[in-house]
Amino acid sequence: MLELFLAGGWVMWPILACSIAALTIVVERFWTLRRSAVLPPGLGQEVRDWARTARVEPQHIEILRQNSPLGELLAEALANRWRPREVIKERVEDVGRHITHRLERFLNTLGTIAAISPLLGLLGTVVGMIRLFLAILASGVGDAARLAGGIGEALISTAAGLLVAIPALMFYRYFRGLIGEYVVEMEKQAIALIDALEGRGG
């Protein structure tokens, strides 16, 4: 394995760095984007029942704000519960944009890794092929088996780049879809709370 890595040339080092960065991001996002951490089960109904009692204290709102992304969104609605519905929705939407931005943290980096890894691999292959053809110009074709081995070594970096890019792209798409689902659910919970505050639903 080490021989294959070294045979790929200097470009294997940035590809290795990309793989380590991608793995770190994927592990961190899996932990951060757990459903129980973003959308604690039963929290929406609990907050709606709580809001109907009209015993909402500022310290309770602050505790809710620190609970989870959903809690932060619902806390914003509660903090503005005496304002008109349009104002509450506007404030909730503002907070929702900030929450979405936090949920998407590092995803641009993961997408960039998915895009540049194959390009790095291709660069390594091109450099390897150039080196190989320069050697042919200097000393002739020589041994065909050696020539085939040189071409194989030049292609190693392309294979390595694809091995990094394919999983990175898959996880990038997965996390984007997951965040989209979370945002829709948080919007539904926020609207249900606003309706509850107005006494129109629950």
Q: Is residue 96 part of a domain?
A: yes
**pLDDT tens for residues 156-198?**
889 999 999 999 999 999 999 999 999 999 999 999 999 888 8
Contact assessment for residue 7 and residue 156, using Cβ atoms and an 8 Å cutoff = yes
Q: Is residue 184 part of a domain?
A: yes
**pLDDT tens for residues 89-148?**
999 999 999 999 999 999 999 999 999 999 999 998 888 888 777 777 766 666 555 566
**pLDDT tens for residues 11-44?**
899 999 999 999 999 999 999 999 999 999 999 9
Residues constituting the chain: 202
Q: Is residue 202 part of a domain?
A: no
Q: Is residue 92 part of a domain?
A: yes
Contacts of 47 (CB under 8 A, 6+ apart): 64, 71, 74, 78, 193
CA gap 183, 163 in Å, rounded: 31
Domain count, the chain: 1
Q: Rounded to two decimals, what is the model's pTM?
A: 0.85
Domain range for 60 is 2-197
Contact assessment for residue 74 and residue 44, using Cβ atoms and an 8 Å cutoff = yes
Q: What is the dihedral of CA 75, 81, 86, 87, to 10 degrees?
A: -70
Q: Is residue 79 part of a domain?
A: yes
Q: Is residue 104 part of a domain?
A: yes
Q: Is residue 57 part of a domain?
A: yes
